Amino acid sequence: MRKIALITGSIVAVFLLSGCGNSSTDSTTDGQSGPKLHILPVLADEDGNSADGKATYTLNATVNTNVQIETPNGSWTTPMWRYNNNPLPLVIRANRGDKMTLNFTNSLGHESTIHWHGFKIPADMDGGPDYPVAPGSGKVYSFTMDQPAAPLWFHPHPDMQTGKQVYMGLAGVLLLDDDISRELESSGQLPSGERDVVLLVQDRRFGLENNGVKELRYMDQAMDSDGMLGDTVLVNGSQFPNLQVSTAKYRLRLYNVSNARNYDFAFSDGRQFTIVATDGGLLKNPVRVDHIFLGAAERVELIVDFSADSTGKNVSLISREFQDDNMNMGDMNGGGNMESSQNDGNMSGDTGNENMPMDGRVPNGTPLDIMSFRVSKKIDDPVTIYTSLPERAEITNRLDPGSAVNLGNERIFNMTMKMGSMTFVINGKSFDPSRVDEYVGANTTEIWNIKNNSPMTHPFHAHAIQWQILDRNGVPASGTDLGWKDTFLVRPGENVRIIGRFEPINYGDYMYHCHILEHEDLGMMGYFRVGDSGHLDSL
């Protein structure tokens, strides 16, 4: 059953062994063969002044934007849902402290919202399902972005339709800058400008070609309710794209905005790289790694160094093979279509073989080619990565468990599988839009204990706060777990303790949920209410 995946794995292994110098034996790493990476468009501040403390933008959710999907084997057109009819996902770049005015219009045929993933934000601006925007109407989101520089993002969050709307193409990037990040850039301690690249990684499944058009397929397989997995990994909208680089350090803002897929990102030659930021901001101390595992909705900023490479060198960003805990799930589901879901581990389209997997569902853990880099120009690398953030950066202070109001009596979120319905629940409950599940006092620090007693890994996300991870199964946090996190993976049998501070801006009802969007839409979600008494009767 795992045969194909293993064969693909060994191709990667062979390549790893032959990675230095001669790349002619492996066509997948020939950067010339892939389409050019799209650089995502950055929206301009509508008041024309990005330094006046006011950020004004318009987002119109539209259907049937014709998107050209480029792959190493040619291209086709796919109608997608996008913002402002733009064929690419959009980037908003703003400064800490700025007041955002976002004019949203919903031109979809269904209600939608804009949720500001990772933002410290009042509940009525957070774009949760309790503040739906009806088709044909709009909403003005206004809030002050007062939190550290970070790779944040936005996406729809309507009741039971989040997975579909994100999958159809509605998700964007919000890069927040602050005086620390600007200073690190201007002093050559972080790459910037054209060497600062946003990468949105999303897997998709396409229908058969019809007059040059392939439509997206969503939830058309029996196992898709376990999480929507496709067979085509898109980076900024293209399959296995190529970026020409200079002999210098690059900052890759790597977003896993897939509905359900985990990636174990690494480089094809095994080179080390440096993580400088997690979901909610820069790390106090950069962390050197040779791979980074990212669940759905997690982000990192990594620095990859091409300064020692000779021109002409090709290197790929890959996802390494890992054990798919969904396998256990398949067994629990009766394993009905497991055979067919295994039939093709080749996601990169590098073989010219047009045989698509029969059901388009490539399992989590299958090794993947993500994109390639071709070193094309020799320059003097101006960047030396910072070693420690200035003291004034909030992340330099670890939150003290002793300051938590619930130390010794932690709030528990237990993720389990509900037998019978085979759906996932938190604390035994499915989402009920009319029920508040947790009451949190305003202006308090709390410890939450997230337990996974289900057979599948879940990315846990809570709105409106950035957390510090205390420990995993009692082992104190280290490495990238020391950064600000709004989403983190909890593996089967694991419990992750987190600590967070509810600030005055946190007021009202917010969601916590699994960020496998199909789990969320099927009810793996709840409300927590933040208020002065901890028990608000109404808002």
Write out the two tokens for 374.
Answer: 């071709």
x/- string (CB under 6 A) for ligand C2O, residues 304-323?
--------------------
**CB 43 within 8 Å of CB 91:** yes
- 361's contact among ligand C2O, Cu ion, none, with CB below 5 to 8 A by partner kind, is none
Interactions with Cu ion, residue window 19-48 (CB under 5 A)? none
State which residue, 199 or 525, has the beta carbon closest to Cu ion. Answer: 525
- 513's contact among ligand C2O, Cu ion, none, with CB below 5 to 8 A by partner kind, is ligand C2O
**CB 240 within 8 Å of CB 72:** yes
Among the listed ranges 243-251, 276-284, 372-380, 510-518, the one in contact with ligand C2O (CB under 6 A) is: 510-518
* C-alpha span between 481 and 37 (Å, rounded): 30
Interactions with Cu ion, residue window 115-144 (CB under 5 A)? 117
Among the listed ranges 3-11, 37-45, 189-197, 507-515, the one in contact with ligand C2O (CB under 6 A) is: 507-515
State which residue, 375 or 415, has the beta carbon closest to Cu ion. Answer: 415
Write out the two tokens for 230.
Answer: 């496709």
If binding is defined by CB under 6 A, does position 155 make contact with ligand C2O? yes
Q: What is the dihedral of CA 186, 188, 189, 191, to 10 degrees?
A: 90
Among the listed ranges 42-50, 112-120, 229-237, 309-317, the one in contact with Cu ion (CB under 5 A) is: 112-120
- 217's contact among ligand C2O, Cu ion, none, with CB below 5 to 8 A by partner kind, is none
Give the residue at shortest CB distance from Cu ion.
514
- 458's contact among Cu ion, ligand C2O, none, with CB below 5 to 8 A by partner kind, is Cu ion
In this structure, what are the phi and psi dihedrals at residue 30, rounded to the nearest 5 degrees?
Answer: -80, 100
Q: Is 219 exposed, middle or buried (0-12, 13-18, 19+ CB in 10 A)?
A: middle
Interactions with Cu ion, residue window 437-476 (CB under 5 A)? 458, 463
Minimum distance from residue 130 beta carbon to ligand C2O (Å): 12
If binding is defined by CB under 6 A, does position 297 make contact with ligand C2O? yes
* C-alpha span between 370 and 234 (Å, rounded): 8
Q: Which helix (H) or strand (E) holds 326?
A: helix 326-332
Q: What is the DSSP letter of 393?
A: S
Q: How many residues does the chain have?
A: 539
State which residue, 118 or 286, has the beta carbon closest to Cu ion. Answer: 118
State which residue, 82 or 513, has the beta carbon closest to ligand C2O. Answer: 513
State which residue, 257 or 362, has the beta carbon closest to ligand C2O. Answer: 257
The distance between the two most distant Cα atoms of the chain, rounded to a whole number of Å, is: 68
- 519's contact among Cu ion, ligand C2O, none, with CB below 5 to 8 A by partner kind, is Cu ion
- 516's contact among Cu ion, ligand C2O, none, with CB below 5 to 8 A by partner kind, is Cu ion
If binding is defined by CB under 6 A, does position 115 make contact with ligand C2O? yes
Neighbour count for residue 439 (Cβ, 10 Å): 15
State which residue, 205 or 463, has the beta carbon closest to Cu ion. Answer: 463
Burial 454-492 (b: 16+ CB within 10 A, else e): bbbbbbbbbbbbbbbbbbbeeeebeebbbbbbbbbbbee
Beta-carbon contacts of residue 331 (< 8 Å; ≥ 6 apart): none
**Where are any strands of DSSP class E within 72-195?**
74-83, 91-95, 99-106, 115-117, 138-144, 150-155, 172-177
State which residue, 15 or 154, has the beta carbon closest to Cu ion. Answer: 154
Contact with ligand C2O (CB under 6 A) among 164, 320, 485, 513: 513
* C-alpha span between 480 and 498 (Å, rounded): 14
Q: What is the DSSP letter of 400?
A: P
Neighbouring-strand partners of residue 316: 372
State which residue, 139 or 513, has the beta carbon closest to ligand C2O. Answer: 513
Q: Which helix (H) or strand (E) holds 164?
A: helix 162-167
- 155's contact among Cu ion, ligand C2O, none, with CB below 5 to 8 A by partner kind, is ligand C2O
* C-alpha span between 305 and 274 (Å, rounded): 9
State which residue, 198 or 511, has the beta carbon closest to ligand C2O. Answer: 511
State which residue, 249 or 513, has the beta carbon closest to ligand C2O. Answer: 513
Neighbouring-strand partners of residue 173: 91, 153
What's the distance, CA 10 to chain centroid?
A: 28
**CB 149 within 8 Å of CB 180:** yes
- 157's contact among Cu ion, ligand C2O, none, with CB below 5 to 8 A by partner kind, is ligand C2O
State which residue, 90 or 511, has the beta carbon closest to ligand C2O. Answer: 511
Contact with ligand C2O (CB under 6 A) among 463, 485, 519, 529: 463
If binding is defined by CB under 5 A, does position 411 make contact with Cu ion? no
Q: Give, in degrees to the nearest 5, the angle at Cα 432 between 225 and 414.
A: 70
Interactions with ligand C2O, residue window 383-402 (CB under 6 A)? none
Write out the two tokens for 232.
Answer: 């085509």
State which residue, 114 or 184, has the beta carbon closest to ligand C2O. Answer: 114
If binding is defined by CB under 5 A, does position 150 make contact with Cu ion? no
State which residue, 92 or 375, has the beta carbon closest to ligand C2O. Answer: 92
- 497's contact among Cu ion, ligand C2O, none, with CB below 5 to 8 A by partner kind, is none
* C-alpha span between 208 and 358 (Å, rounded): 11
- 451's contact among ligand C2O, Cu ion, none, with CB below 5 to 8 A by partner kind, is none
Interactions with Cu ion, residue window 509-538 (CB under 5 A)? 514, 516, 519
Minimum distance from residue 118 beta carbon to ligand C2O (Å): 8
One-letter amino acid of 516:
I
* C-alpha span between 42 and 378 (Å, rounded): 27
3 state DSSP class of 185: helix
If binding is defined by CB under 6 A, does position 461 make contact with ligand C2O? yes
Residues near Cu ion, by CB under 5 A: 117, 458, 463, 514, 516, 519
Residues binding ligand C2O (CB under 6 A): 115, 117, 155, 157, 297, 461, 463, 511, 513, 515
